[in-house]
Amino acid sequence: MRPLSKSRLLAFRQCPKRLWLEVHRPELREDSETTRARFTVGHQVGDIARRLYDPTGRGLLIDAQSEGFDAAFSRTQGLLQSEQPIFEAGFCAKGVLAFADVMQPVKQRGKIGWRMVEVKSSTSVKDYHRDDAAVQSFVARSSGVPLTGIALAHIDSDWVYPGDDDYSGLLRESDLTDEVFGRVEEVRSWIAEAQEIVAKKREPSVATGKQCGDPYECGFLAHCQSQGPRAEQPIHWLPGRLSNRLQAHIEAHGLTELRDVPDELLNDKQQRVKAATLSGKPYFDQQAAVAALAAHKLPAYFLDFETIQFAVPIWKGTRPYQQIPFQFSLHRLSRKGKLEQQAFLDLSGKDPSKAFAESLITVCGECGPIFVYNAGFETARIRELADRFPRLAGSLLALNERVVDLLPVARDCYYHPSQQGSWSIKAVLPALCPELRYGDLDGVQNGGMAMEAYLEALAPQTSIERKAEIERQLLAYCALDTFAMVRLWAKFSGSDLKD
Ligand code: SF4
């Protein structure tokens, strides 16, 4: 019986087929950008945790990759006789191997015991963290470690970074000792079931479903989807929540195609999507769109933000995972129909927030609607800026009073079959204005790429030439977002735009 790593046992908890594929066909896994980014964040938080749990720097790190697994396990056993913190301590017992983020020595009646801390980059304790801790403690205790307790340290999203490299408040601990010490039999049964799956000669048959993204995106999704019938017009293009009756009907009849879904189980919007998809003809209630926009007179502003977030904040006064705007584009359409664009972009590496807020107030003027697409995002960022800079709060919050969301107008009045169930601006724009294409942009073509480009521009090793190129790409991308809104507004309101 070959030992399973803790991560494979947790893969089994997500889906038995995933475990089998991890063991027998790992080459089929395709990790997404999101998965890779999650690992990077995990390493950043892990580095900070080491400093916090070992302020005097006496602790020792075990590196199983370079030392080899057997050496890592035996070095761990040696270090457990000492009294210094251990990071990535390795244990192997009962057919499972696991590495603990932090082991802290605890003196009890003259003897050394150990407290284990698992460090997570999420902002709360999730059920799969509890499973993770249960496995971790089971393996450590089974290998003879006198474990006195186990805690999960996660990021405190309310904490505000005070600056000067002081991360003492970044992590918040939850004690899970009683819970995980009581789950020994459960963990034993997972190991036995997982070993049975691994021993199978053939890939288990499991249909794709909710488990493929819960708790993590499964890297085998493309492989599993390629095995089943591919729907031409899949049911998941239907917008909004599917009713319980519809869900039950789909499951009972094994439906995958939109055309097989009965109209009477769909709401109005879902029926519109189905009808447009099957007929291939777009839906456009222009009268309703004109009416929705009639109250908002020129001059009009069209605004879009790009933001960045850090699990470990780098700027004083910001919180973990706070969305911090570093760029905006603003198109202004005057009463006479003249269109002008202004932009803000800070690639200095300093906190862009205050300059961003001041510039935004200046360019938005005093009156006129400010159109955005999915208003919740921009208005939330403006409120956060108002909280951080009380002197600017009045002017910033006044901008929010003028915000008008184009997304509900699009959702209620327009649908093109090519949108495939999405009303993101990147899905609506090609349908309404096929000559405007994000794919034609050089480099940055979506929000995720904008974040990556921003981080690259800030990196000390990035050359001046590359930074200038990124600047051009970011400016062009954000400008297209707001120009797209101008064009959408013109189509929806029935207005002509001057060239
Ligand atoms: S994609 Fe879904 S069904 Fe396939 S292995 Fe992953 S979790 Fe299981």
Q: CA 189, CA 123: separation in Å to the nearest integer?
A: 29
Q: At residue 389, does pLDDT exceed 60?
A: yes
Top mean pLDDT of 223-237, 273-287, 426-440 is at 273-287
Using pLDDT thresholds of 50, 70 and 90, give the confidence band for residue 3. Answer: confident
CA 17 to centroid of ligand 1, rounded, Å = 6
CA 212 to centroid of ligand 1, rounded, Å = 5
Using pLDDT thresholds of 50, 70 and 90, give the confidence band for residue 50. Answer: very high
Q: For residue 209, what pLDDT is reported? A: 81
Q: What is the torsional sign of CA 249, 255, 261, 266? A: positive
CA 292 to centroid of ligand 1, rounded, Å = 44
* Residue of 18, 19, 216 to test ligand 1 pocket, by largest number of atoms within 8 Å of CB: 18
Contact partners, residue 116, CB within 8 Å, separation at least 6: 100, 102, 103, 104, 136, 137, 140, 147, 149, 150, 151
- Please report how many Cα atoms fall inside a 13 Å half-sphere around the Cα of residue 89, on the Cβ side: 32
Whether 102 contacts 85, CB under 8 Å:
yes
Using pLDDT thresholds of 50, 70 and 90, give the confidence band for residue 499. Answer: low
Q: For residue 498, what pLDDT is reported? A: 60
- Supply the residue whose CA is at minimum distance from atom 2 of ligand 1: 212
CA 208 to centroid of ligand 1, rounded, Å = 6
Ligand 1 atom closest to Cα of residue 17: 5
The residue assigned the tokens 């908002």 is 296
212 within ligand 1 shell (Cβ under 6 A): yes
Domains of the chain: 4-199 (3.90.320), 229-277 (no CATH), 282-499 (3.30.420)
Q: At residue 344, does pLDDT exceed 80?
A: yes
Using alpha carbons only, give the angle 16, 18, 23 rounded to the nearest 5 degrees. 100
- Supply the residue whose CA is at minimum distance from atom 5 of ligand 1: 18
Ligand 1 atom closest to Cα of residue 18: 5
Using alpha carbons only, give the angle 330, 333, 338 rounded to the nearest 5 degrees. 120
Q: At residue 250, does pLDDT exceed 60?
A: yes
Percent of the chain with pLDDT over 70: 99
Mean pLDDT to the nearest integer, 321-330: 97
The residue assigned the tokens 């789950």 is 183
**Mean of pLDDT over the chain:** 94
The residue assigned the tokens 């039999």 is 185
Q: What is the pLDDT of residues 20-42, one digit of tens each?
A: 999 999 999 998 888 888 888 99
13 within ligand 1 shell (Cβ under 6 A): no
Q: For residue 359, what pLDDT is reported? A: 98
CA 209 to centroid of ligand 1, rounded, Å = 8
Q: What is the pLDDT of residues 474-488, one digit of tens each?
A: 999 999 999 999 999
Q: At residue 410, does pLDDT exceed 60?
A: yes
Of the candidates 59, 113, 112, 111, the residue with the CA atom closest to the CA atom of residue 88: 59
pTM equals 0.87
How is residue 426 written in tokens? Answer: 């990147």
How is residue 268 written in tokens? Answer: 């109005």
Torsion of CA 316, 318, 324, 326, to 10 degrees: -10
CA 19 to centroid of ligand 1, rounded, Å = 9
197 within ligand 1 shell (Cβ under 6 A): no
Of the candidates 171, 190, 172, 75, the residue with the CA atom closest to the CA atom of residue 132: 190
Q: What is the pLDDT of residues 354-383, one digit of tens each?
A: 999 999 999 999 999 999 999 999 999 999
List the single range of 40-44, 139-143, 486-490 with lowest mean pLDDT: 40-44
Q: What is the pLDDT of residues 185-228, one digit of tens each?
A: 999 999 999 999 999 999 999 988 889 988 889 999 999 988 87
Q: What is the pLDDT of residues 450-472, one digit of tens each?
A: 999 999 999 999 999 999 999 99
Residue 300 φ then ψ, to 5°: -125, 150
Residue 324 φ then ψ, to 5°: -110, 115
CA 5 to centroid of ligand 1, rounded, Å = 19
Q: What is the pLDDT of residues 5-22, one digit of tens each?
A: 999 999 999 999 999 999
18 within ligand 1 shell (Cβ under 6 A): yes
Q: For residue 230, what pLDDT is reported? A: 80
Q: For residue 37, what pLDDT is reported? A: 83
Mean pLDDT to the nearest integer, 226-250: 89
Contact partners, residue 199, CB within 8 Å, separation at least 6: none
